[in-house]
Amino acid sequence: MKTSKSILLIVSIASIGLLAFALYLQHVEKMQPCPMCIIQRYAFVAVALICIVFAALPRGAVRTGAGLGALASVAGAGTAGWHLWVIANPSISCGIDPLETSLNTIPTANLLPFLFKADGLCSTIYEPILGLSIPQWSLTWFVIFTIVLTWVAFRRSR
């Protein structure tokens, strides 16, 4: 059975891989991220950083890190769910999204615009990837991360 630290590292690597795939979609496939996509990216970054930091700390901190990672995953899942709701109800999204203006003024958007700058509309529907839309994939991964990290946080230490 995997140790808790290795599970945290696997989750962080998966999060970083998903971010890399998002960058591929943005820069190679020209799929512009919307504000909710950017918030989901922040959630994936939070999950990855929390898992890496707590995997490097002493063994007693792993459960706390898994719990914090699970909370970040729940936040990402909520954003992905809201994104899916906006796609299903396109009248909700307007031309210039105030959320986009706010997100693009955050320092990380100015320091790393290739990763955190929102340029798209939340109601834009791109071609599905293996049958699922991008927010559906995000929601799926956030749910997986939440389940795994919650299990690590609450399982009995061995």
pLDDT tens figures, 75-134: 999 999 988 888 888 776 655 566 666 777 777 776 777 677 777 676 767 787 888 888
Residue type, 86: V
Tally the domains of the chain: 1
Q: CATH number of the domain that 29 lies in?
A: 1.20.1550.10
Of 13, 29, 37, 11, the C-alpha closest to 134 is: 37
Q: Residue 77 is encoded by which pair of tokens?
A: 């899942």
Domain hosting 100: range is 4-154
Distance CA 70, CA 83 (A): 20
Under the banding of pLDDT at 50, 70 and 90, the label for residue 146 is very high
pLDDT tens figures, 65-90: 999 999 999 999 999 998 888 888 87
Write down the pTM of the prediction.
Answer: 0.83
